[in-house]
Structure 1
Amino acid sequence: MNRRNFIKNTSTVGLITTLGIPAGATMMGNNGENATIDFNDNFQLKEVTISELRDMMKKGKLTSKSLTKMYLDRIEKIDKNGPKLNAIIEINPDALEIATKMDEERKAGKIRGSMHGIPVLIKDNINTADKMQTTAGALALLGNIASEDAFIVKKLREAGAVILGKTNLSEWANFRSNRPCSGWSSRGGQTKNPFILDRNPSGSSSGSGSAVSANLCAIAIGTETNGSVTAPSSSNGIVGLKPTVGLLSRSGIIPISKTQDTAGPMGRSVTDVAILLSALTGIDPKDEVTKSSAGKAEPDYTTFLKTSALQGKKIGIEKSLLNGHEGVVALYKTAIEKLKELGAETVEIELLKEMRVIGPASFTVLQCEFKDGVNAYLANSNAKVKSLREVIAFNKANESAAMPYFKQETLESSDKAPDLESVAYKEAVLKVLSSRKIITDLMTKNQLDAIVGTTYGIPSPIDLFNGDAGNGFYFCSPAAMAGFPHITLPMGKIHELPVGLSIIAGAYEEPKVLAFAYAYEQATKHRSAPKFIRSSNFSSGI
């Protein structure tokens, strides 16, 4: 997403995409000509859940090696050929070897955990101490092979997961330019939306969102500073959870903001997201903020998933999102009625209006913390560039390859940002952290259990040259700035394009937002597999 515009306004954002296809290119009409990619999508693991995969391995119907091979073949067919989603930036050459080891352990009666033998994709800003690089999609970081796994990668391995590879992303997690395109990186090129291929997959966890939706993996991990898990989950028609800041460690993840950064699970169902979340938590001495999760992390988040979870609950409805594109608003109103049918009481609130007092403070915090965090990361990395300043110089020296469509204004302004001891930074942090009180006070005043809103509107056309186009719907900022949990799940589609429903609550209330999302998901079943439609230029228009 275009964090600069979106953080300045706090209630709107432009996201990003880049195919090299002009936004107005006509490729399809109502007659359906060239409507879908011409391939047979009878994938055996299509829409399969983690529980189903575990059951098949337990019964000997599949091995971890066989299903890993199936996903690798799927990636070759869908991501590199066929629709060419370009969601995967690198394949793990050790994936089949890891899967074989998990099969041997299973045969010997050893099951490491809930993710034993399950293939996972992770975003390319998360360190893996293996043969894969960690580059944040940037050519400047080519060759950066981490010496140590990120903490959450260690947790994945401990739980028995098979790391299939790394996903493409908006370069530098979309903290590079004033006019970026979500899903584009100088290393990985442009990720596409599997529902309609010339539409924005959103970002910055673009590849993770696209890959999960297209069934290139069982589940994936993204990262979020300000909407980078939830927005692409909405645009790709999947479930995404941005946890409380502190629930998951950030050590070994290329940083933007120590105040707002977190990793998060992205899956096709609430249950799968809850399973992966359960495997990732833990206190990490290298990330002080995780100490706040002591006694608050749950060993198994699936135990909270009840279809009756919304009965007797009071839900705040973000009022400002009841206006705008008539199709999106209609989906939102239908979702609200469904919440009522499921036993919830609803009351209109205006959280986004309250959040405007924060103004540009969040962007100031991000710039200052990005400069400090990236310099520290690079100084201790195996990358050839050792500072933000060297990254900027590399991009200028290799402009035609590193910056062919948009430049690096955000990198440059961050390099000039005040240090973390400055008055400007400290005042900005206090203002950003006031978002916690704003949300908490609003929930207390109205006796709310959670707040809902439209995550993001209809995915816009990919436009490399002009960057992201905002659509007036964006509910990712409040929970991101407050560090509170935020889950999004499918709310429906408009002309085959997904739109998500967001649910947020207070710190460490993941059980609550997961439970509410599960109840809504089971009652609506809005998730559907994408059709890989070539173009969104229906003659009826969108």
Structure 2
Amino acid sequence: MVVRWEAGSGIAGMPILLKDNIETRDMPTTAGSLALIGNAPGRDAPLTARLREAGAVILGKTNLSEWANIRSSNSTSGWSAVGGLTRNPHALDRNACGSSSGSGAAVAAGIAPAAIGTETDGSITCPAAINGIVGFKPTVGLVSRTHVVPISHSQDTAGPMTRTVEDAAVVLSAIAGSDPMDAATAEADARKVDYREALDAGSLNGARIGVMRFSMGYSRKTDAVFEENLQRMREAGAVIVDITEGPDMNAMGAAELEVLLYELKADLNAYLASTDPEQVQTRTLADVIAFNERTPRELALFGQELFIQAQAKGDLTDPAYVEARATSLRLAGAEGIDGLMREHDVVALIAPTTGPAWTTDVINGDHYAGAASQMPAIAGYPHLTVPMGFVDGLPVGMSFIAGKWEDAKVLSLGYAFEQLTQAMRSPAFAPTVDVAETLAPLLAPLAR
């Protein structure tokens, strides 16, 4: 069979890659772990089935940060024991971010026009921005999580990673919808729309957009690119509103981690129990921890301290969990996105998604400076990143964030921004940015 697909032609025939924590009936699903190397239960996740029914062509699985980057706080993003290290196609010594590292790098490299990633906090938007593509994290509950290896039922969602906002809208329209096996999606059928039809290249004109100034400063050069793009948005008719103060991010982050550890234990145990015991011998998180201890490749680069912390937690009736979830949700939602949008009378919030890609360091782990992902991740609200330019040859993105179920609006604003900038470009597969014409002369000694 010959598959023909052209950009902008819709979902039928579109080649799509899936992150290797999403089940397919014809391939194993490993989450990057040797503990799941035989996990092939012969079932499609509902989102996979929706793609097939819409006519998409599933090309294969992409590497990811192992266990979606929840095993260790000192990890190297893009590495898994199964897939090895994913490299950034713009500079091969740079990181692809995570945990949807392979999805971001593959789309940027032109292997496929679209991939599905998953996000708990930043795992779609960071690799999309750092690899120079579009990434969209939908409202939690718009897309089914059934048969996707989990971290957190409060924050997990799958979403499209593509070369254009239009393609992201096309893919989202295919995968969105209610799933009786995922209670969070009960409203999805009533909430979903044709996201491609909702795109409006003029949507920035007259729109009041809030700039999260408190979510900047982790990359001076990225901030400069961001300011240039704010001016383009003003010229397109957007009203730019500076927001200098946000919620207590330290308290939010501490509460979020507590929630993720509790839910990781509960949700991963439930997933493992659903697998075939002949294919997967690790039936609980405790079993996975023990497996890793006796498997040298698993712990050769970094440890599993977050797994161990999660295993020590109680169940989801524990008052510490209940309080942490209430605190994180209040700070990210009512006092975060919802409060900021209401107080400043804006239709969306924007910020640099994150800085440019850091040099991969398998000795010391990631050098991650910060990102705009935390509030929408915790609140479960939509978050889109769109390429906005380059820093010394490395792509950087702009984030668009709004309230629950405002996915169509976020995509439309990002689409209008994309039409202004057209900042996406194919990677050079350079060995390093040190050879970039802006940098190479500065790294050589001054001729005397």
TM over 0.5: yes
The residue type paired with residue 348 of structure 1 is: D
Deviations 1:374-429 (A, max 9, x none): 00111111222111111111111112x11111111111111111210100111111
Please, which of 112, 126, 137 is the counterpart of residue 217 of structure 1?
A: 112
Partner of 1:530: 427
Matches within 5 A, 1:57-72: none
| Aligned partner (choices 443, 453, 465) of residue 363 of structure 2 | 465
Contact 1:358–1:431 (Cα < 8 Å) also in 2: yes
- Offset at residue 351 of structure 1 (A): 5.6
State how 1:237-248 maps to structure 2 within 5 Å: 237-248=132-143
Q: Secondary structure of 1:197's partner?
A: coil
Structure 2: distance between partners of 1:147 and 1:135: 13
After superposition, what is the alpha-carbon deviation per residue over 1:83-116, rounded to whole angstroms, capped at 9, x for unaligned? xxxxxxxxxxxxxxxxxxxxxxxxxxxxxxx422
Matching residue of 2:340: 442
Residues 1:410 and 2:326 aligned together:
no
The answer to whether 1:433 aligns with 2:390 is no
Match of 2:162 in 1: 267
Corresponding position: 1:312 with 2:206: yes
Structure 1 CA distance, aligned partners of 2:151 and 2:263?
Answer: 6
Q: What does the per-residue CA deviation read over 1:127-173, in whole Å, with 9 as the maximum and x for residues that have no partner?
A: 1111x110100011110002321110110111111110000000000
Q: Confirm or deny: 8 A CA contact 1:144 1:384 kept in the other structure.
A: no
Matches within 5 A, 1:37-436: 50-51=7-8, 54=9, 114-130=10-26, 132-298=27-193, 300-321=194-215, 323-350=217-244, 352-382=246-276, 383-399=280-296, 401-434=297-330, 435-436=332-333
Q: C-alpha separation between the residues in 1 aligned to 2:421 and 2:253?
A: 36
Unaligned ranges ≥5, structure 1: 1-44, 55-113
SS at match of 2:242: strand
Q: How many residues align?
A: 430
Kindly provide the CA deviation profile for residues 332-361 of structure 1, in whole angstroms up to 9, marking residues without a partner as x: 101111111111111111465444442401
Displacement of 1:329: 1.4
Deviation track 1:235-270 (CA, whole Å, cap 9, x = no partner) reads 000000000000001011000000000001000000
**Native 8 Å contact 2:218 2:355 kept in 1:** no
Paired residue type of 2:327: K
SS of 1:444 mapped into structure 2:
helix
**How many angstroms does 1:536 deviate by?**
2.4
Kindly indicate whether residue 368 of structure 2 is the aligned counterpart of residue 474 of structure 1. no
Q: Which residue of 2 aligns with 1:502?
A: 399
Give the structure-1-normalised TM-score: 0.77
CA distance change for structure 1 residues 262 and 324 in 2, over 3 Å: closer, same or farther? closer
Identical counterparts, % of pairs: 44
Q: Is the 8 A contact 1:49 1:218 kept in 2?
A: no
Contact conserved, 1:322 with 1:332, CA < 8 A, in 2? no
Per the alignment, residue 67 of structure 1 pairs with none
TM-score, normalised by the number of residues in structure 2: 0.93
What residue ranges of structure 2 are gaps of 5+ in the alignment? 444-448
Match 1:484 to one of 381, 385, 389: 381
- For residue 310 of structure 1, report the CA deviation from its aligned partner: 0.6
- Matches of 2:386 and 2:171 in 1, distance apart? 16
- How far apart, in 1, do the equivalents of 2:217 and 2:322 lie? 36
C-alpha contact (below 8 Å) 1:129/1:148 kept by paired residues: yes
**Contact 2:246–2:340 (Cα < 8 Å) also in 1:** no
Query: How far has the Cα of 1:50 moved from its partner?
Result: 3.4
Cα distance in 2 between the residues matched to 1:287 and 1:523:
38
2:143–2:157 contact (8 Å) kept in structure 1:
yes
* 1-structure distance, mates of 2:81, 2:135: 25
> Aligned pair in 2 of structure 1 residues 320, 441: CA closer, same or farther (>3 Å)?
closer
- Say whether the 8 Å CA contact 2:350–2:400 is kept in structure 1: yes
Residue type of the partner of 1:389?
A: A
**Within 2, Cα distance between the matches of 1:359 and 1:133?**
34
CA distance in 1, matches of 2:123, 2:214: 22
Determine the C-alpha separation between the residues in 1 that align with 2:419 and 2:228: 15
Matches within 5 A, 1:516-527: 516-527=413-424
SS at 2:186's partner residue?
A: helix
Q: 1:490 to 1:385 in 2, by over 3 A?
A: same
The structure with higher relative contact order (CA 8 Å, sep 6+) is: 1
User: 2:446 matched to which residue of 1?
Assistant: none
Structure 1 vs Structure 2 CA RMSD = 1.5
Residues 130, 397 of structure 2: 8 Å contact kept:
yes
